[in-house]
Structure 1
């Protein structure tokens, strides 16, 4: 349905725009975390910068790059900012309030950020009939203030603001929109006024579009991301690179990796210890690829995924007729890995019989198939892994001591992701590129808040959980949108983002306790702390709850029981227990 504003006469323009919805929703999205040194607007991390610092930055770029190149940089800077704010405006208003208010969130956000006051003169939005036309008067443009010391200019100077308006409208409408500053106080005009239309309606639209493509913030960024994902996909299909290699720069991880590489040339068995999801199979592949067996096969077995009664036949093979259903002889994993490496994941789950056979294979390099009599020679290097404490299992008699010592010749502990948080970003970007390539998506990457949440989340499932979380985020995020914290974690909010300490703005622009903090004050944890401080026992608390429920229900036992989520007999029993009847 077409959206139109009244068309005001410029001479009769009201001092205060009458058609804006309340900005309360936008103000509530602004959070200050003084103790953390952070400011957030939705999922974007923001900065407060003085006007003089902005003027210094602009002058430096103009001097270094020249005025035309600097103009392009600032237009692109504004354009990218507009893209991000359009996501916030649509998220806050799109479903509830519709296209009109989502569009107006753009100039309102610009005002909230201290850039300019935008007064609507004309706004017509009618996508169904291929119609878009808007005009705004800008008051208090920060860019006019920045340029004032340079005197009157020959061309408009509100570069960043113009890029912002174009980027915001383009992202919101899903079609290229361009604005022109037709009047500018920096040029000596009485006011700053802009007009926006669909790009093709401007005769010079190609020249303006070229300004947006001169840096890799938009089209080139998408193109480069697609190329990287394609190259990684091609590498992943190579025989020896069926999966990605280990990624990380954390000291503990690099030290472990150096020890792994030093063991590659030897033939000694290697035992990898670490929590589930830390990437032990990837490390085993690296060990194989750096060894003299690199041209041989790499065979991986998850011992926990094979029933105990079948594990021996899977590892050592089976002869025809060995049991019902064994209609033909079959190679085991040891024979398939001959001349290469066998990776035994979840080693601790092996049955006692399988442990004995494995010990013989390690010591004598010989195996016997299930149901067979022939001894077969095998040349296999074994790399084993487990997330359990093998020492404890040995002491409990659940794992052979001699097998443990045989495997324990070279042991490495893989650090969990929470102990190398600095690697989270690199891993996340890697998985993002792979998932975008797999699902043929082109997102704008992670929002600032999503990045902060990933860095502070504990990742109990380690790298595997991170990969699955990012895959979920890519699936739930549309093209040319940022992957949000909600897309990654759903309704769960990472508690260490310290939302409960944030401050927002009231209607007068003063810092006050945010809605998140108020919610925290009312949370059960807050009340429980008060109970601790009062020195109450669980019996004291239960008794007081019973009394309060009965008082609130005017002595009606059935009603009081319902308030506490109890049956009437259970409530009556507790009344008798505490002598309240």
Structure 2
């Protein structure tokens, strides 16, 4: 693909304009951070559970692995030796990003009301707890007015630097790639916008320790090289946005007509993500693009099937030829043949002139058949013939026409099931299913949500000429936990709606979730805490909610609550019978009974994770 057509993540680093109203999240800085603030290292250690009987380790509700550092070093060396430094660095950076993003979600869920400075530092403590590196903060700050982050840290005992030294000796460039990815993933997910970290000193290069600088993406003037390691393929990026200078030079709408048209085209073709599921689809796309093989994209509505189809065309050898798309579900059955193959003048009443169909228009290029599963059996038969013979006849004509078209199809239903039910021809299915690529729903690639949020926020801020100032913390929490039944299309709509309603203020829940979207219980409870309602009421409201839950837990007799009340008033004769472990186990037992044996529901009632509940149950059984 020509350089002019490549989509670069460097476009994500354009500044967003003047300052807007401050975010409800308070400022964070080194001066505000206390080593004794929760979550402490001990708090985080309590989230780590070992279940040796069934071979699993849990960090809260995330499964972990205890792996020899030398084993990781061997894998790292083989990646470098076989793939080269650039590809190996990209793989390790993306793996670290995923780990950091997951840890940020863990901290958000467990300590939603912790001080922002402590929340930011929790990532460094988790990195230490996980045995990767000891992190010492030199300075860091987060300004809620501008949404900008800056930080400097020292890394001691870097496991990645140790393994690089053991494999190659003194390095000529920083080598802690996975750890840099972790820092990017953790802070970006926590703040809801892209923060880039760069290692400026590395122990693998002979210095006593590693030194790392982190800044919001827009504060780096040369971040393109750092950002490219987040992309599994060259064509993955953020989409191209106008620079500040271009925005200032345009008219009242904020952008010239040409710039708007170019941005719309870039949004259509932009692919953004770094999750493993997304990267797997990109790898398949890269493999099949140089060929003429028929590709079938599958996945739910809104996952970006047409976007992938356009990228397939752009990185293939037909890129200079036409790309023609048709939505089969939007064409009436009586007109589908005319739309696909064209019509001759006088073929039927109203056919006043000859017209080419989509196959002719796409000759030499790519024809994209969206929602191909909605075609009638008659239309399927005619489509099969042109796929087999490479020729067709216009409606009203007997002269065959030859075409050379690459056919790309997409469907949001299981065509194999449709074949079994007699709704789709088996022979056509095999013609289309030459190279299937499944596109995952957004709920299976949550690690990409911060990148997509950043991309769409900047795009719609430019498109509507509105200064944007990021997201409130509860909005970030909601988007990270929302199920997204409409997938990327829904996220795109939510953010465009939010940009319009927020009018330069940070995007919050009332700006986005106004169409009856159902948030999960966790996000609803966060909203009940009243972010932005002032200092009063937040803690009290949370305690009131927890009190309501606690009073509802026991059975009809309220046995546990009555026992606790008796104990506190001195009416309980045997205090020893009401020890803390006994209280805990009684509460757990009654919660499970109330939930009908459903551990997940019981865990929600108790305000803990299912893994924590299962651990406590297993511990009781082992002691019993």
> TM-score normalised to the size of structure 2?
0.48
1:450, 1:483 within 8 Å by CA — same for their partners in 2?
yes
From 487, 492, 509, give the equivalent of 2:511: 487
Q: Distance in 1 between matches of 2:537 and 2:498?
A: 37
Q: Distance in 1 between matches of 2:510 and 2:481?
A: 15
Residue of structure 1 equivalent to 2:384: 359
Residue of structure 2 equivalent to 1:54: none
Render the CA deviation track for 1:30-60: whole Å, top value 9, x for unaligned. Answer: xx99886455569x9563899xxxxxx9x96
Residue of structure 1 equivalent to 2:471: 446
Residue of structure 1 equivalent to 2:572: none
2:529, 2:538 within 8 Å by CA — same for their partners in 1?
no
Q: 1:288 and 2:313 equivalent?
A: yes
Residue of structure 2 equivalent to 1:279: 304
Gapped runs of 5+ residues in structure 2? 1-23, 26-37, 48-105, 122-134, 148-216, 220-240, 248-254, 557-588, 597-624
Q: Tell me by how many angstroms 1:272 deviates.
A: 0.6
Residue of structure 2 equivalent to 1:265: 290
From 536, 543, 547, give the equivalent of 1:514: 543
Render the CA deviation track for 1:87-130: whole Å, top value 9, x for unaligned. Answer: xxxxxxxxxxxxxxxxxxxxxxxxxxxxxxxxxxxxxxxxxxxx
- For 1:397, what is the secondary structure of its paired residue? coil
Q: Distance in 2 between matches of 1:367 and 1:484?
A: 54
Q: Choose 341-350 or 229-238, whichever is displaced more.
A: 229-238
**Map 1:216-365 → 2, pairs under 5 A:** 226=244, 234=259, 237=262, 241=266, 243-365=268-390
**Map 1:132-281 → 2, pairs under 5 A:** 226=244, 234=259, 237=262, 241=266, 243-281=268-306
Q: Distance in 2 between matches of 1:365 and 1:519?
A: 69
Q: Tell me by how many angstroms 1:489 deviates.
A: 1.6
1:264, 1:290 within 8 Å by CA — same for their partners in 2?
yes
Q: 1:381 and 2:381 equivalent?
A: no
Inter-CA distance 500–523: structure 2 relative to 1 (3 Å threshold): farther
Q: Tell me by how many angstroms 1:407 deviates.
A: 1.0
Q: Tell me by how many angstroms 1:523 deviates.
A: 9.3
In the comparison of the two structures, how many residue pairs are matched? 350
From 484, 491, 498, give the equivalent of 1:459: 484
Q: Choose 32-41 or 443-452, whichever is displaced more.
A: 32-41
Q: Tell me by how many angstroms 1:368 deviates.
A: 1.0
Q: Choose 315-324 or 389-398, whichever is displaced more.
A: 315-324
- Give the superposed CA RMSD: 4.7
Q: Tell me by how many angstroms 1:520 deviates.
A: 5.8
Q: Distance in 2 between matches of 1:256 and 1:316?
A: 31
Inter-CA distance 533–500: structure 2 relative to 1 (3 Å threshold): farther
Q: Tell me by how many angstroms 1:532 deviates.
A: 10
**Map 1:110-129 → 2, pairs under 5 A:** none
From 480, 485, 499, give the equivalent of 2:525: 499
Inter-CA distance 516–300: structure 2 relative to 1 (3 Å threshold): farther
- For 1:384, what is the secondary structure of its paired residue? strand
Inter-CA distance 516–297: structure 2 relative to 1 (3 Å threshold): farther
Q: Distance in 1 between matches of 2:244 and 2:334?
A: 47
2:457, 2:468 within 8 Å by CA — same for their partners in 1?
no
From 32, 42, 47, give the equivalent of 2:118: 47
Q: Distance in 2 between matches of 1:508 and 1:376?
A: 74
1:355, 1:400 within 8 Å by CA — same for their partners in 2?
yes
Residue of structure 1 equivalent to 2:97: none
2:446, 2:480 within 8 Å by CA — same for their partners in 1?
yes
**Map 1:67-82 → 2, pairs under 5 A:** 80-81=143-144
Q: Tell me by how many angstroms 1:243 deviates.
A: 2.0
Q: Distance in 2 between matches of 1:46 and 1:251?
A: 30
Q: 1:425 and 2:450 equivalent?
A: yes
Q: Distance in 2 between matches of 1:462 and 1:232?
A: 29
Q: Tell me by how many angstroms 1:306 deviates.
A: 1.0
Structure of greater Rg = 1
Q: Distance in 2 between matches of 1:239 and 1:428?
A: 17
- For 1:446, what is the secondary structure of its paired residue? coil
Q: Distance in 2 between matches of 1:386 and 1:259?
A: 17
- For 1:272, what is the secondary structure of its paired residue? strand
Q: Distance in 2 between matches of 1:499 and 1:413?
A: 35
Render the CA deviation track for 1:384-411: whole Å, top value 9, x for unaligned. Answer: 0001010011111111111111111111
1:500, 1:517 within 8 Å by CA — same for their partners in 2?
no
- For 2:343, what is the secondary structure of its paired residue? coil
Residue of structure 2 equivalent to 1:29: none
Q: Tell me by how many angstroms 1:293 deviates.
A: 0.8
Residue of structure 2 equivalent to 1:478: 503
Q: 1:393 and 2:418 equivalent?
A: yes
Inter-CA distance 267–235: structure 2 relative to 1 (3 Å threshold): farther
Inter-CA distance 440–259: structure 2 relative to 1 (3 Å threshold): same
Q: Distance in 1 between matches of 2:300 and 2:474?
A: 27
1:298, 1:342 within 8 Å by CA — same for their partners in 2?
yes
Q: Tell me by how many angstroms 1:324 deviates.
A: 2.1
- For 1:440, what is the secondary structure of its paired residue? coil
1:394, 1:401 within 8 Å by CA — same for their partners in 2?
yes
Q: Tell me by how many angstroms 1:281 deviates.
A: 0.5
2:269, 2:308 within 8 Å by CA — same for their partners in 1?
no
Q: Distance in 1 between matches of 2:466 and 2:242?
A: 13
Q: Distance in 1 between matches of 2:512 and 2:482?
A: 11
Q: Tell me by how many angstroms 1:497 deviates.
A: 3.6
Inter-CA distance 351–227: structure 2 relative to 1 (3 Å threshold): farther
Inter-CA distance 422–60: structure 2 relative to 1 (3 Å threshold): closer
Gapped runs of 5+ residues in structure 1? 1-24, 27-31, 51-56, 62-72, 85-214, 218-222, 537-581
> TM-score normalised to the size of structure 1?
0.52
Q: Distance in 1 between matches of 2:340 and 2:549?
A: 55
